[in-house]
Structure 1
Amino acid sequence: MRSPTRLALATSCALALVSTPTAAWSADTPKAEGKTASTAKAAPVDCAKVKCIALTFDDGPGKYADKLLDTFKKYKSKATFFLEGQYVKSRPAFAKRMVAEGHDIGNHSYTHPHLRELSEDKIREELQKTQDIVKKATGKYPTTIRPPYGEFDTRVQAIATEMGMPIVLWNGGSRDWATKNETAIYNEVLKNAKRDGVILMHDWVEQTVTVMPKLLAALQKQGYHVVAVSSLRGFKDAKAGDVYPVGSEKDKDLSSESPTGDPEAYAESPADGL
């Protein structure tokens, strides 16, 4: 039979083992404050108070979109992706990730035609087909339209109004589709950077994706917050069928920033996966 002294000592040791975790157990268990910090949402950027710029990407999801998304996540920045329905069909996981990580998504038609050359029924078909396939892939509908080549007319505006979406163009470019050169893309974007600027880029251009870490770092060093278009000053006032940025449709240099002619002549993204 154990003595009272021995029994008390054994009980004390057992209680100590239960109530005090070992060093190894503690190291494997996250601290409460660390867990709270990792799950806390970042405060939204107020572009009325800070300098913002939006980088926008057409014709996607391109085959390099996952790497691009990794970079935006690392730099705690947001983008806007104007998606083609045919590529959402072939890369639904990329589109789903864009939405899940808080980026804006817009409608860039299904097959990238010149909308002004189509009948009204065909324009509706191009846009609605993309709306439906994006919703199926991501759970959300695109909320804006960027017509291919930046081309539109009163019929396109009327249909955008019917669908409840503003038309988003741009007021600066990268000419990445033309140069496919990292230094040229970097310099062109920084040359065109301005507060509340909307920059046109393409996520199927490999050099754009490769230079993005350097570009985001440079923009942040200049005091820019890289945000989605919906965060920019003035966008909240854009109604269905309105053109944003205001006055961008009058820019004579607009068309030179966008690929022209047959998209198959420049887009490297389409061939794979369709």
Structure 2
Amino acid sequence: MRRKIPSITALMAFEAAARYQSFSRAADALSLTEGAISRQIAGLEEFLDLLLFHRVKKRVQLTDIGKAYFAHVREDLNRLERNTLSAMAYQDGQQILELAVIPTFATKWLIPRLSEFSRLHPEIVVNLSERALPFLFGDSVFDAAVHYEHPAWAGNAQELLFEEELVPVCSPQLLGGKTALSIDELAAYPLLQKNTREDVWRHWFDMQGFQGRNPVGGPRHDLFSMIIQAACYGRGIALVPRLYVEDELRSGALLIPLDRPIRGLKKYCVVYPEHEEASPTLKLFIAWLMQAAREQSHGPAMRAGIN
């Protein structure tokens, strides 16, 4: 039976026009004429029997269904491109593992260790893609995710790696020669905030029994990597996972002014679909990852490890 799928050319024209909110800019991006873009989108709207754009003089604006369709088409085209690139890069005997990862965890912990995995298993290529939030495996190309434990992962297999341990860190220059602070002194400095963890400083101060300041004021950032960089440049004190700042602590770029960690707010885990048996490639990776997590948990940088 013939599939109800529009042409790739039409979908690419629609995605570009929706992204730029302009037929002329879409034409420039795809090296086509504006008339060609207009014809492709008109044909797509006829195929769908839907209006995807409102045309107002020389401007175009997505309809409500156009906005929803754009989100799906963009993801589908991205997935198709990734799959195509993987096929083009394939070498005989090569095995590919697609992983979704938390961005800062990947750059600060996972990637530095992957060279060891590649040495042990040179036939396996590990591709990493950023996913900050849980997702449905059925709607993705991923074999597994290295992520936080979360109720949204219900129905999937989860293997605990280790608990998060948060510590306050700052640049030595911020302290003007001091190497340690009391809780009252620390509370006087700017506190760097993570947008999705707005209560973490409040929780830390509550653990210390300190109620003397507003813990949610201070510069805000999306990623821990941004907060760490801001701390390195003296913009304030950051509360970050200790494993993310191991290099900076060793080099002296950052120090811990008050070593009172909080643990257990988040747990790192590897997640994969439970309804299907893990492939031999994924099993090898999970076994290696669990061993690396055990070494992290018992290493000196983790200090107390998992409680």
Which of the pair has the greater relative contact order for Cα pairs under 8 Å at 6+ separation? Answer: 1
- The verdict on a shared fold, with TM-score over 0.5 as the criterion, is no
TM-score with structure 1 setting the length: 0.23
TM-score with structure 2 setting the length: 0.21
Higher strand share: 2
